[in-house]
């Protein structure tokens, strides 16, 4: 089932309460400081606001699904630092990729789809590309004819099928 991400959000995130608190906090701090400076009141209200800000959780971790399926390693290498940083910051990533890391990264689960690309990549050469795409006007049509079977191959893999039927 393809469900929207809002289904699994906590209520405070769905109602954007964490964003509202984050945006209102500078104004609350300024108001409490101004009240203390100009009216010489006690700091109890400022302490209460600061305590609420410390207890309020403005950011959490997310579960992220990444479909990084590409024939070329260079296409996926661009995004790898982003995925590694997201995992380092506590997000749980599930990455469907054709070029997995050699070593496991904490918080990142990689599903290897490289076996789907081997027959296609082994037959790919510059002569084939020149023949399939002789000019810029026919290139999009040729690429569509070339990539459609590749997409069907990946979508029919058991890893993707198990993802599609899961909750």
Closest CA to 96 of 124, 68, 122: 68
Name the strand (E) or helix (H) holding 40: none
- Which is higher by pLDDT, 123 or 108? 108
| pLDDT per position as a tens digit, 20-59 | 887 887 777 777 767 766 776 565 666 666 666 665 555 5
63 strand-pairing partners:
92
Over residues 89-121, the pLDDT tens digits come to 888 898 888 888 888 899 999 888 877 766 555
The answer to whether residues 88 and 108 touch, using CB atoms and an 8 Å cutoff, is no
Compute CA 130 distance to the chain's CA centroid, rounded to the nearest angstrom: 35
Lowest mean pLDDT among 38-42, 133-137, 147-151: 38-42
Nearest-angstrom CA–CA distance, 107 and 126: 39
Question: Is a pLDDT exceeding 80 seen at residue 80?
Answer: yes
Nearest to 111 by CA among 101, 126, 122: 101
Q: What is the pLDDT of residue 9?
A: 80
Evaluate whether 18 touches 12 at the Cβ level (below 8 Å): yes
Banded pLDDT at 123 (limits 50, 70, 90): low
Most distant CA pair in the chain: distance in Å? 82
């Amino acid at each position: 089932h393809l469900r929207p991400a809002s289904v699994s959000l906590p209520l405070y995130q769905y109602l954007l309460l964490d964003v509202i608190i984050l945006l209102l906090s500078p104004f609350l701090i300024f108001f409490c400081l101004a009240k203390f400076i100009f009216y010489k009141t006690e700091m109890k209200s400022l302490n209460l606001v600061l305590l609420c800000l410390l207890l309020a959780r403005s950011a959490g971790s997310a579960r992220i699904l990444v479909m990084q399926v590409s024939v070329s390693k260079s296409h996926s290498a661009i995004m790898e630092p982003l995925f590694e940083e997201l995992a380092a910051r506590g997000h749980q990533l599930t990455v469907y990729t054709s070029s997995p890391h050699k070593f496991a990264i904490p918080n990142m689960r990689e599903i290897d789809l490289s076996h789907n690309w081997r027959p296609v990549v082994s037959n790919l050469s510059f002569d084939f590309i020149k023949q399939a795409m002789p000019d810029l006007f026919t290139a999009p049509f040729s690429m569509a004819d070339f990539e459609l079977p590749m997409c069907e191959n990946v979508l029919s893999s058991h890893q993707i099928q198990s993802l599609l039927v899961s909750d």
